[in-house]
Chain A
């Protein structure tokens, strides 16, 4: 056991090229999906928190349910849509990082949107009202809302990223864990474990854990505000 750990540390310390490629791709894919999700989910979450419409409760219920979608299901659906006979098959995206970004984006949009919605629901009206009574235009009130909710929005984004980077089921299906192409931290840990290559699995695991610690540290720090 100690040997395996030593080996793992050595791999990290010597900047083993394969490991850092895997870590790098993981970061790129998860940053991309978090970025795209943020652009879509933050405005939608704010909007949902501020407007009333028929069947809103149903929409909210669906949103909360989709916050914990099973990743393998999302992976499977994205895979089928992108497969040669699927509606978006002509894009030929399966087994590429793009497909992984799409799958992760679908997974974390509800997470970011749900958290943002929840806080907007509580404070959105107050913010809107105070903006109006202090003379802010409609546009200025929108800006004010984003500014006032910046901490929960940040928490939502970090949560989304944390989910994206640690997720394995969906990207395994759509990415295929192809070496040097779609292999990321979680999929390679799963594979390395099967191959019995524990030291490399642990080396990557340490990196993943470090990222999780940072993400949770950030969340913990801001949760109290």
Chain B
């Protein structure tokens, strides 16, 4: 999915928390967003995913006009994902159920993705009883199961164990390769940004302060901006 943002602003209680002139993100790219707390990263993610409305400006998704259709093709994984009061299998199956997939298809897809991510042993476990790393993996599996064209990740690997983080990163990269989906990931981890992203956007006080392409990653001092 190609995304084109123009003159996007958002205020909370008369405080401008987002103010983006233009931002172009091309289909199939993995974009990192970094920046200090309160920079507006999560707000941008929520607006992109249709959970919040901007006060002004526009976002074009492939030039598509039917926003209901667009939002059904986008998904978000949050730092604290809400998992359904059910088992892991049903959580991952949910996006396919609402899309009225056949039960046999659902079973195949869910089982495949659980195996790929090494979480098949959790299938029957109540989602609310999972550890932090397991929760994130389930949330990611649930997000990509329906092959969204735009995957938005808001600090999905903050505070989880290294093994889970590796699995998450591998899954994200593989999903990007096989589906050509656009991915935007907010992270506080510069190493992670370097490992995953084609380009990094540095945000500060609601604005885009800098864009860095993969080739220049090593010259840039991320510590300053995170």
Binding site for B on A (CB under 8 A): 123, 126-127, 129-137, 140, 144, 147-148, 150-151
Assess whether A135 is in contact with B50, with CB atoms less than 8 Å apart.
Answer: no
Given A129-B51, A133-B51, are A140 and B85 also a contact pair (CB < 8 Å)? Answer: no
A-B contact pairs, 24 of them (CB 8 A): A123-B82, A126-B82, A127-B82, A129-B51, A130-B81, A130-B82, A130-B84, A131-B98, A132-B51, A133-B49, A133-B75, A133-B143, A134-B75, A134-B94, A134-B95, A134-B98, A134-B146, A135-B75, A135-B146, A137-B98, A140-B98, A144-B84, A148-B84, A148-B85
Residues of the A chain whose Cβ atoms lie less than 8 Å from the Cβ of B81: 130
Chain B residue with the shortest CB-CB distance to A134: B95
Tell me, rounded to whole Å, the shortest Cβ–Cβ distance linking A58 to chain B. Answer: 22
Chain B contacts with A in 79-123, Cβ cutoff 8 A? 81-82, 84-85, 94-95, 98-99
Residues of the A chain whose Cβ atoms lie less than 8 Å from the Cβ of B76: 133
Q: Does B72 sit within 8 A of A, measured CB to CB?
A: yes
- In this complex, how many residues of chain B approach chain A with their Cβ under 8 Å: the count is 19
Chain A residue with the shortest CB-CB distance to B98: A136
Given A134-B75, A135-B146, are A129 and B82 also a contact pair (CB < 8 Å)? Answer: yes
Assess whether B95 is in contact with A135, with CB atoms less than 8 Å apart.
Answer: yes
Give CA–CA (A74, B184) in the complex, Å.
57
Tell me, rounded to whole Å, the shortest Cβ–Cβ distance linking A17 to chain B. Answer: 45
Q: Does B142 sit within 8 A of A, measured CB to CB?
A: yes
Given A129-B51, A140-B98, are A135 and B72 also a contact pair (CB < 8 Å)? Answer: yes
Given A132-B51, A134-B95, A137-B98, are A150 and B85 also a contact pair (CB < 8 Å)? Answer: yes
Which 6 A-B pairs have CB atoms at the shortest separation, nearest pair first? A126-B82, A134-B95, A130-B82, A135-B72, A136-B98, A133-B76
Q: Does B1 sit within 8 A of A, measured CB to CB?
A: no
